[in-house]
Chain A
Amino acid sequence: MSSNFILEMKGIVKVFPLAENPVIANDHVDFSIKKGEIHALVGENGAGKTTLMNILYGMYTQDEGTIILDGMNINIEDPKKAISYGIGMVHQHFVLIPSFTVAENLIFGYEPHKGLFVDLNKARQLASEISQKYGLEVDPDKKIQECSLSTQQRVEILKILLRGASILIFDEPTAVLTPQETKELFKAFRELAQDGKTIIFITHKLREVMAVAERVTVMQKGQVRGVVNVKDTSVEELARLMVGRDVSFTQRRVKRVSDSDKILEVDNLYCLDERGLLALKDVSFHVKAGEILGVAGVGGNGQNELVECLTGLRETINGDIIYKGRKIIKFSAVKIRNLGVGHIPGQRYTRGICKESDVLKNLIMGAHKKHPLSKSIFLNLKQIDKYAENLIKNYSIKTSSKDAPIMNLSGGNVQKCVVAREFTLARDLIIAEEPTRGVDIGAIEFIHTQLLKKSEEGNAIIMVSTDLDEIIALSSRIIVMYDGCIIGEVSPDITFLEEKVGLLMAGIA
């Protein structure tokens, strides 16, 4: 059996020892691939698949475990070592130089010389040869910034092939491709495999797995849940392996909401991302008072852009957003905030807090201009002190003093500051992004309790989270985002909830 495997990773353990929340990213993981195989690595956010591949690619070193390549035990200290072993990675975000040509990018770091000068002709020649060999057509003289994303991806692939890669790792390769380009990529996979190359690709899109992969490894919470042959399995089984929880230890805590006002209505929303591609495609949903709407989905499917549109930080190109009966789609971030929309941002340390400042100054943002914290242009320092002390007490924020630098606090307590501030300012609508990411267990409990309290008080809450446990525990309703659309809505009371959500997250409606 072992002779079939070109690469075996055995007993891989990788722990990230963060102060309050040590993460076991890889928990005794076994991963093997056969020569010339197309192997998919599947799992939700935080499953550990990226960490595993980063170990293979030399970005991290494993804490325990061995890597055996062609029967030999190897140590991969850095990416250059990985390449020398024939392991190459095509990243999700390309590492190309936009103003250089394709040929120049291909030879970057390994330039062929003609005396003192770089031999560009040789570069061009190499580029042509290799692109023709694998059917990955590129124009060697075109500048990268003028190439389409799928062409750029081809250049990335050619780059690692030129360096001698025989094992190619792809991280979410179809994120930037059209369906047609995806088909072409898979065709390239098959041709590379036929030539004896081995392909590993990380994805959360189960249809793609069924379309092109031969075997699949499914990971969840740092462990391998299953390794199956594609022809012997189904999307349902894969989804179950991907998100299935052993025991329903995630207690459901929400009561059903029936009749109340729609606080927020989103109709046919479209917007673009930084690259000019559609990030939101015809998104429509609503939230009622007292509801917690869980927005589930693998990261990068439009959730960030959705929140930015709702909070006025991103321009939309079509559609409507109606808050308490008012169209707010053209409103600025300032205006929306002043209407009482609370927002716990995903970027905790750039938007959520001012990291160079102290706890007090962080807690009063937004409330500082209003009575009783200020009177005309002057701040009422005594009231401010009282306000801060109240928040610190009510939200159990552990800090040496209210004047302590906020970065002295643990991650969980920093988040509690954000939650304290936003929950106090918000009227009727709270948008919470990853509210408990990187937070210790005690604080998670606390923040969840506060969220529930707010919803019981009649606020509408939109909770965007890639943590399925959190979604299942707290949501009154669940919508799942996939590829910029709301691919489906689920009530948390159904049977086989995890499987259904898992399928939706993987793109299967």
Chain B
Amino acid sequence: MSKELLQSLLRLLIALIVALIVSSLFIIFMGENPLIAYRQLFKGAFVGKANIIRSLRWSTPYIITGVAAAVAFRAGVFNIGIEGCVYIGGLSAALVGVYVTGLPGPLHVALAVVVAMIMGGFWLVLPAFLRAFYNVNEVITTWMFSYISVLLCQYLVTYHFYDPFEISQAAQQVRTSYIASSARLSQLIPPFQLNTAIFIALGITILFFLFSQRTTLGYELEMTGLSPDFAKYGGINIAKIRFYAIIISGAIGAIAGATEIMGVHFRYIHGFSTAIGVNGILVALMGRLNPITVPLAAIFFGSLQNGARVMERTSNVSLDTINIMVSIIVMSITAEGLYELIRVKRKARKEE
């Protein structure tokens, strides 16, 4: 293990410990014992068959959205509209699952995923184009587009794709019919919700790794993100790279939505995504956009969330305090990356 990697891991550990210490102050303030709370957290995340399986189930969508965010961020474009793509992907997969008939299982699933990807990518064409060629800030456009997406999906399902056997005008009950069994992802360990989506997530991770480390496009994307001047001057078409980065990012994000629908809910239902896309951004940043550490961060985050749920049930620590704790942990881990950034910038300034 190289010296730099070791140092990095050490700093990560310190960040985590600092976060836990700071959070414990909040827990003490609430009148609870932080050690007990943390024990519950750890147990809830990693101990016991049920907990481990649930942690994995929750990690799966984060792996996918984490990779989606990482692809864009590596190119220096901050696509934060992944949540919108999750919805688009979910709805597309649901519609393929409901209205396309006569296909064998694997083909039906593959079609749903492909359609979801196309729709997810297509959804971000306008923000991608505006950013790549007119330098319109993508943070604003992609974020706004995710609002549009959620509301659009709501509208489409409420008025056009609703379940005719269970019509309800209540907003919380907006949903499509159930998708055909051929479009469902196999459950791995019933009654838990862990399904074959985890293999899809694994596949996406491997593809991300190959893409960034082994392809010319991956190299160009990385250089465009790290140093656009250098890339442009080196002959790379940075506008095209930025455009495709956002589109691909949207397509991958849509897969996360599709797998949630096809593997867990079996129909599009309002609120199916509990900030999967948004948390994907966190996961990508925690994992430093790296194809090996982003999935690890996703598993960490998914487990943390699951552990927090258990902690809330079994201890007296309120959900809000738990959220504070999770936030502090995420912030510390992300902030640790600042060290490297400052070091490089300082050296560059000295040399100029």
| Chain A residue at smallest Cβ distance from B343 | A407
Q: For residue B214, give the distance in angstroms from its CB to the closest CB of chain A.
A: 6
Q: Does A207 belong to the interface (CB within 8 Å)?
A: no
Residues in chain B near residue A369, CB distance under 8 A? 216
Tell me which of A354, A364, A414, A438 contacts B226 (CB under 8 A). A354
CA distance A268 to B4 in the complex (A): 53
Q: Does A351 belong to the interface (CB within 8 Å)?
A: yes
CA distance A377 to B214 in the complex (A): 9
Q: List 8 A-B contacts (CB under 8 A).
A: A18-B350, A311-B233, A333-B235, A337-B235, A353-B227, A356-B344, A378-B214, A411-B351
A379-417 residues at the B interface, CB under 8 angstroms? 379, 381, 405, 407, 411, 414
Given contacts A349-B348, A356-B226, A407-B347, contact A338 B235 (CB under 8 A): yes
A interface size (C-beta, 8 A): 36
Tell me which of A334, A351, A438 contacts B230 (CB under 8 A). A351
Output the residue of B230, B234, B236, B348 with the most chain A CB within 10 A.
B234
Tell me if B230 and A353 are in contact (CB < 8 A): yes
CA distance A438 to B227 in the complex (A): 22
Q: Does A281 belong to the interface (CB within 8 Å)?
A: no
A66-115 residues at the B interface, CB under 8 angstroms? none
Given contacts A356-B226, A381-B214, A407-B347, contact A345 B233 (CB under 8 A): yes
| Chain A residue at smallest Cβ distance from B215 | A377
Q: Does A357 belong to the interface (CB within 8 Å)?
A: yes
Residues in chain A near residue B215, CB distance under 8 A? 377-379
CA distance A348 to B220 in the complex (A): 19
CA distance A186 to B350 in the complex (A): 37
Tell me which of A345, A350, A361, A377 contacts B223 (CB under 8 A). A361
Q: Does B217 belong to the interface (CB within 8 Å)?
A: yes
Q: Does A365 belong to the interface (CB within 8 Å)?
A: yes
A341-376 residues at the B interface, CB under 8 angstroms? 343, 345, 347-357, 361, 364-366, 368-369, 374
CA distance A412 to B227 in the complex (A): 21
Per-position contact with B for A270-281: 1 when CB-CB < 8 Å, else 0?
000000000000
Q: Does A313 belong to the interface (CB within 8 Å)?
A: yes
Per-position contact with A for B213-241: 1 when CB-CB < 8 Å, else 0?
01111011011001101111111110000
Tell me if A438 and B351 are in contact (CB < 8 A): yes
Tell me if A355 and B227 are in contact (CB < 8 A): yes
Given contacts A361-B223, A407-B347, contact A352 B237 (CB under 8 A): no
Residues in chain B near residue A18, CB distance under 8 A? 350
Output the residue of A351, A365, A377, A379 with the most chain B CB within 10 A.
A365
Tell me if A354 and B233 are in contact (CB < 8 A): no
Q: For residue B222, give the distance in angstroms from its CB to the closest CB of chain A.
A: 8
Tell me which of B235, B236, B344 contacts A407 (CB under 8 A). B344
Tell me if A355 and B237 are in contact (CB < 8 A): no
B246-260 residues at the A interface, CB under 8 angstroms? none
Tell me if B348 and A407 are in contact (CB < 8 A): yes
Residues in chain A near residue B4, CB distance under 8 A? 405
Tell me which of A343, A379, A405, A407 contacts B233 (CB under 8 A). A343
Closest 5 pairs between A and B when the two form their complex, measured CB to CB: A354-B227, A365-B234, A337-B235, A356-B226, A354-B230
B190-231 residues at the A interface, CB under 8 angstroms? 214-217, 219-220, 222-223, 226-227, 229-231
Residues in chain B near residue A368, CB distance under 8 A? 216, 219-220
Q: Does B352 belong to the interface (CB within 8 Å)?
A: yes
CA distance A351 to B352 in the complex (A): 12
Tell me if B223 and A365 are in contact (CB < 8 A): yes
CA distance A364 to B348 in the complex (A): 21
| Chain B residue at smallest Cβ distance from A349 | B348
Q: For residue A324, give the distance in angstroms from its CB to the closest CB of chain B.
A: 18
CA distance A368 to B213 in the complex (A): 13
Per-position contact with A for B79-104: 1 when CB-CB < 8 Å, else 0?
00000000000000000000000000
Residues in chain A near residue B344, CB distance under 8 A? 355-356, 405, 407
| Chain B residue at smallest Cβ distance from A411 | B351
Given contacts A351-B229, A361-B219, contact A366 B214 (CB under 8 A): no
Given contacts A349-B352, A411-B351, contact A377 B217 (CB under 8 A): yes
B279-295 residues at the A interface, CB under 8 angstroms? none
Tell me if A357 and B227 are in contact (CB < 8 A): yes
Residues in chain B near residue A352, CB distance under 8 A? 230
Tell me which of B214, B219, B237 contacts A334 (CB under 8 A). B237
Residues in chain A near residue B234, CB distance under 8 A? 337, 365-366
Output the residue of A347, A357, A364, A366 with the most chain B CB within 10 A.
A357
Residues in chain A near residue B226, CB distance under 8 A? 354, 356-357
Per-position contact with B for A329-342: 1 when CB-CB < 8 Å, else 0?
00001100110000
CA distance A407 to B232 in the complex (A): 20
Tell me if A379 and B216 are in contact (CB < 8 A): yes
Q: For residue B273, give the distance in angstroms from its CB to the closest CB of chain A.
A: 33
Tell me if A365 and B230 are in contact (CB < 8 A): yes
CA distance A349 to B348 in the complex (A): 7
| Chain B residue at smallest Cβ distance from A335 | B235
| Chain B residue at smallest Cβ distance from A355 | B348
CA distance A325 to B179 in the complex (A): 65
CA distance A18 to B229 in the complex (A): 26
CA distance A19 to B216 in the complex (A): 36
Q: For residue B190, give the distance in angstroms from its CB to the closest CB of chain A.
A: 41
| Chain B residue at smallest Cβ distance from A370 | B216
B294-352 residues at the A interface, CB under 8 angstroms? 344, 347-348, 350-352
CA distance A350 to B344 in the complex (A): 13
Tell me which of A334, A379, A381, A438 contacts B236 (CB under 8 A). A334
Per-position contact with B for A314-335: 1 when CB-CB < 8 Å, else 0?
0000000000000000000110
Tell me if B219 and A379 are in contact (CB < 8 A): yes
Residues in chain B near residue A311, CB distance under 8 A? 233
* 17 more A-B residue pairs beyond the given contacts A356-B227, A405-B4, with a C-beta to C-beta distance below 8 A: A311-B233, A313-B233, A334-B235, A334-B237, A345-B233, A348-B351, A349-B351, A351-B230, A352-B230, A354-B223, A357-B226, A361-B219, A368-B219, A369-B216, A379-B214, A379-B215, A379-B216
CA distance A311 to B232 in the complex (A): 12
Residues in chain A near residue B236, CB distance under 8 A? 334
| Chain A residue at smallest Cβ distance from B347 | A407
Residues in chain B near residue A313, CB distance under 8 A? 233
Residues in chain B near residue A405, CB distance under 8 A? 4, 344
CA distance A290 to B208 in the complex (A): 47
CA distance A343 to B223 in the complex (A): 18
CA distance A365 to B237 in the complex (A): 13
Residues in chain B near residue A361, CB distance under 8 A? 219, 222-223
Residues in chain B near residue A379, CB distance under 8 A? 214-216, 219
Tell me which of A351, A353, A355, A366 contacts B235 (CB under 8 A). A366
CA distance A216 to B159 in the complex (A): 85
Q: For residue B349, give the distance in angstroms from its CB to the closest CB of chain A.
A: 9
Tell me if B347 and A378 are in contact (CB < 8 A): no
Residues in chain A near residue B217, CB distance under 8 A? 377
CA distance A337 to B214 in the complex (A): 24
| Chain B residue at smallest Cβ distance from A414 | B351
| Chain A residue at smallest Cβ distance from B230 | A354
Residues in chain A near residue B235, CB distance under 8 A? 333-334, 337-338, 365-366
Q: For residue A31, give the distance in angstroms from its CB to the closest CB of chain B.
A: 27
